[in-house]
């Protein structure tokens, strides 16, 4: 799946989360869609590392470009 995302039925019912946290990946995309910056997201979720966000966005870009 991803180097920075994990899923387990024991964590938030299997929803994808940032590895090592209970922060749903969906939260990042919701914040970005609402116009928040990455820094604002990270302030609200200090257990998520900036490197995790950047890696996830790079993986999403690669996936989108490969599908084009």
| Predicted TM-score (pTM) of this structure | 0.88
Q: Which range of residues forms the domain containing residue 25?
A: 5-66
CATH of residue 55: 1.10.10.10
* Arithmetic mean of pLDDT, 17-27: 96
35-63 in b/e form (b: 16+ CB < 10 A) is eeeeeebbeebeebbeebbebbeeeeeee
* Arithmetic mean of pLDDT, 56-60: 94
In sign, the C-alpha dihedral spanning 32, 50, 52, 59 is positive
Structure tokens at 67: 């599908």
Count of the separate structural domains present in the chain: 1
Q: Please, are residues 51 and 17 in contact by the beta-carbon 8 Å criterion?
A: no
* Arithmetic mean of pLDDT, 21-33: 97
pLDDT higher than threshold 80 for residue 63: yes
pLDDT in tens, 48-57: 999 999 999 9
């Amino acid at each position: 799946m991803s180097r920075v995302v994990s899923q387990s039925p024991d964590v938030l019912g299997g929803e994808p989360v940032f590895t090592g946290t209970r922060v749903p990946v969906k939260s990042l995309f919701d914040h970005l869609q609402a116009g928040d910056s990455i820094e604002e997201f990270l302030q609200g979720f200090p257990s998520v590392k900036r490197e995790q966000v950047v890696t996830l966005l790079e993986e999403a870009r690669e996936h989108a470009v490969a599908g084009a």
